[in-house]
Amino acid sequence: MNKYIFSCLFLALAFSCATDQHEPNLNDTGYFPPLTGNAWQTETPSSLGWNVNEIQNLYTYLEEKDTKGFIILKDGKIVIEKYFNNHTQNAVWPWYSAAKSLTAVAVGIAQDKNYFSITDKTSDVLGANWSSLTDAKQDLITIKHHLTMTTGLVNNPNIFLDWSCTLPNCMQYHADAGSVWNYHQGTFIQVQNMLSQRTGMNFKPFIKTSISDKIGMHGSWSSILYLNIYSSNTRSMARFGLLSLHKGKWNDNTIVSESYFNQMVNSSQNLNLAYGYLWWLNGKASFIGTDSTLHSGSIIPNAPNDMYAALGANDQKIYVVPSKNMVVIRCGESAGTQQLANSGFDNVLWEKINNVID
C-alpha cells in the first residue's frame, strides 16, 4: 500500500472516530421533533456512556425539591424524561419569568421584520407619557434598556400599587438609563406592550404565530393585574430550549436572526455581565442577582460556563448548554430558593446532573 493511500485511510479513520463522539455540531441540522403529534426520538443514557447508577440520586433530589417535570435533551433527543408529584407529560405549568426569554426572542423577530429597532426610544413606541420622568431623562431610555434591565427606573417604587405596575407613576427616575442594573418587572412588561403596539397585534398571538406554531410549542397566557404568565407542558419548554440551542433555527427554518440571537445570549452591558437580553448567562466573572447585589463568580459554578438560561420564579428552569449540545428543563413548585440567579438549588442540581453525564 503506497503512502498516499495509507494517509487517506488514516485521515478517514481519524475523522470517523472524531465524529462518532457525542460532541456538539450545531452546524448540522440535528434532530427536531415533528411539529404535530407526540413523537420524539429518544436516546438511552447507557448508549451515551452516562453513569446510570447516579440517575436515581438525581431523581430523588428532584422529587425532594418538589419538582413536577424534568427533561434532558442530548442532540435534540430525549435522554431523560421524568415526572413527579402527580404531574404528567401533558400537564401544564407556569414558566413565570422564564417567559421573559421567550419574549426576548419575539423582540428579535419583530426587529427582523422591521417593526422597530431595539435602539428606538421607548417614547417613540409607547408615547410621551409612559413614565413620570422629564422628557430629557425619558428620552435616554431605549427598548434595549428594557431588555437589559438598565432603564434606571426605581424598582417597585409604590407599595400601594402592584409590583408589576406599568402606570406612569410607577415608572419613576432613579438614575440615567444605562448607568445602573436593576431587575424590574414593570419595565419588562412594557416590552410586551411595545410588541403589541408595533406589530399590529397583541403580543400573545404574535408569539404564537411567529414562534410557537413554528416549533410545535403549545401554551397559553393568563393575566394577573399587569403581569402576563405563560404556561405549557414540559415538552413545550424543551422545544423552546431546543430552538435556543440552535440559535433561533428550527430544522432549516430561521425563526429569529442568528446575529440578534448571539447578542441576546451574551453580556449585554458591563454592569451585570451575567445578563443578556432577558437571559441569564453562566460562567461570568461576576453577576448581579434579582436582589440587586453584586456577587463575584459564576451564577451556577457547577454548570458549564457557556450555559445560558431562562429562569422563572419557583425554580422554573430552561438550561441551554451549547458545549454539550444539551437542554435541561425543570418545572415545579419552589425548591426553597428566592433568587432567580445564585440559587443553591441550581448548583446542587447541576452537581447531580454532572454525576450522571460525566
- How much is the mean pLDDT over the chain? 91
pLDDT score at 233: 98
Enclosing H/E stretch for 309:
strand 308-312
Task: Kindly state the percentage of the chain with pLDDT values over 70.
Answer: 90
The Cα diameter of the chain in Å comes to 85
Cell readout for 287 is 453577576
pLDDT score at 350: 98
* Residues of the chain scoring pLDDT < 70: 1-29, 156-161
pLDDT score at 156: 63
Measured CA to CA, the distance from residue 55 to residue 232 in angstroms comes to 25
Query: Model's pTM, two decimal places?
Result: 0.91
Domain boundaries, the chain: 46-357
pLDDT score at 261: 98
DSSP 62-104: HHHTTEEEEEEEETTEEEEEEE-TT--TT--EE-GGGHHHHHH
User: Could you tell me which residues are beta bridge partners of residue 281?
Assistant: 308
| 46-357 belongs to CATH 3.40.710.10 | yes
Measured CA to CA, the distance from residue 175 to residue 215 in angstroms comes to 40
